[in-house]
């Protein structure tokens, strides 16, 4: 969760200079795309992990019957 917050915060930092508050003339496009890719990876991994845990719980519940 903390890493996800850092990824979200880095998106505006790629376009705005945090010290002066002005827009960057050449924005850090690489930082923007890395942050978006990081967010996508975190969301996909967490959903994959949740699905696997749910499958294990369902298998355990079926085996009790």
C-alpha–C-alpha distance, residues 60 and 64, integer Å: 7
CB atoms inside a 10 Å sphere around CB 7: 18
Q: What is the pTM of this model?
A: 0.75
C-alpha–C-alpha distance, residues 35 and 14, integer Å: 9
Where do the structural domains in the chain lie, given as residue ranges?
Answer: 2-64
Q: pLDDT for 24-60, tens place per residue?
A: 989 999 999 999 999 999 999 999 999 999 999 998 9
């Amino acid at each position: 969760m903390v890493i996800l917050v850092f990824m979200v915060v880095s998106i505006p930092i790629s376009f705005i200079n945090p010290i002066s508050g002005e827009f960057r003339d050449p924005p850090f496009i690489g930082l923007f795309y890395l942050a978006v890719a990081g967010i996508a990876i975190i969301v996909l991994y967490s959903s994959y992990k949740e699905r696997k845990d749910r499958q294990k719980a369902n298998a355990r519940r079926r085996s009790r019957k």
